Amino acid sequence: MNHEQAIAILTGDREERFPLERAFAFAAFCAWLNAAHSDTFASQSMCLAVLAHAISYEGQKKFDTSILRHTDVFDPNLYLKNIENWSPISDYWMHDFFESYNDTKYIADVVRFFVGFKDRHDYTKTPSQGKAFYFLNPMGGFDGLEYHKNERMRASSMAAHQKIWKEYKRSSSFQFVRYYACTLDFNMDPRDDFLLEKLIKQAQKRRTIIDFFRKVSWVQNELRTKLDARSMDSSEYHSFPASIVPKKCTVPPLPASTYTMLEFYKANETATQIESKFPD
């Protein structure tokens, strides 16, 4: 099961085709959200982990896992491929990484910068990837974040910013809503003994899940008006079913000093020149 199949299941109103289908779908979506750079591998691997949890429940709760055979969550060839490549799965298994400021939160802040940027009817005042990097790094980013601006400056570069954007841009709107406008828990740890119970509980929150995707749809529409097509083309936005009507969500405003400080921004500056404006 990949993330697109998972989204289709989570946004649909049909009955489950097999037991725990929604739980597996939520698991697949969570894995993609946390490791969007891995495309479908994280989702498929997570489904395998959830399947292992379900099998362990078989004796305890008389859950018949044989009914999962030949469904979207179990494919013999995929199973063998995952076993053969078990080591790379550790990228997502390092769940503790998601407790700190990481790429998913960084990309959410990139979206917050774009969506929150006020239109001043002046092409020189429009948002850009260069300005987003400039704001989030040497300028220190948003108030209340866990990192100090100098730590972020040392940890990032324009090249790193571009790499993160390239890897996570398809999930960028999802990441923004996840961190700024949603109460769902997407940090599902495959090592958790109670993983299956947590997935079932989250997957049952149908109204909250639909609300999440409606907000994502709205954020995507906002990004389309702010992003240059070279940064993200139309094929990289997710297409939701007609039932997912965009719902506006609250976007925290940019600090009042942002626009004044961005007057120092010059597109062709080097990292050294930028750093010199913001000494330790």
Same-domain pairing of 34 and 58: yes
Same-domain pairing of 32 and 151: no
Would 172 be classed as within a structural domain? yes
Contact 15, 69 (CB under 8 A): no
Would 200 be classed as within a structural domain? no
Same-domain pairing of 223 and 136: yes
Would 110 be classed as within a structural domain? yes
pLDDT at 77 over 70: no
- pLDDT band of 203, cuts 50, 70, 90: very high
Same-domain pairing of 244 and 105: yes
Which residue type does 163 have? Answer: K
Please tell me which residue, 120 or 245, carries the higher pLDDT value: 245
User: In whole angstroms, how far apart are CA 232 and each of 110, 123, 217, 240?
Assistant: 13, 19, 15, 17
The mean-pLDDT minimum among 17-21, 120-124, 246-250 falls in 120-124
Same-domain pairing of 164 and 252: yes
Q: Which domain holds residue 76?
A: 1-93
Same-domain pairing of 213 and 255: yes
Residue percentage of the chain with pLDDT more than 70:
70
pTM above 0.85, yes or no: no
Last residue of a domain, one of 93, 123, 156: 93
- Overall domain count for the chain: 2
Residue labelled with tokens 């750079």: 37
Same-domain pairing of 72 and 156: no
Same-domain pairing of 8 and 133: no
Q: What is the DSSP string of 256-271?
A: TTHHHHGGG--TT--H
User: In whole angstroms, how far apart are CA 257 and each of 24, 113, 122, 145, 183?
Assistant: 45, 13, 18, 17, 30
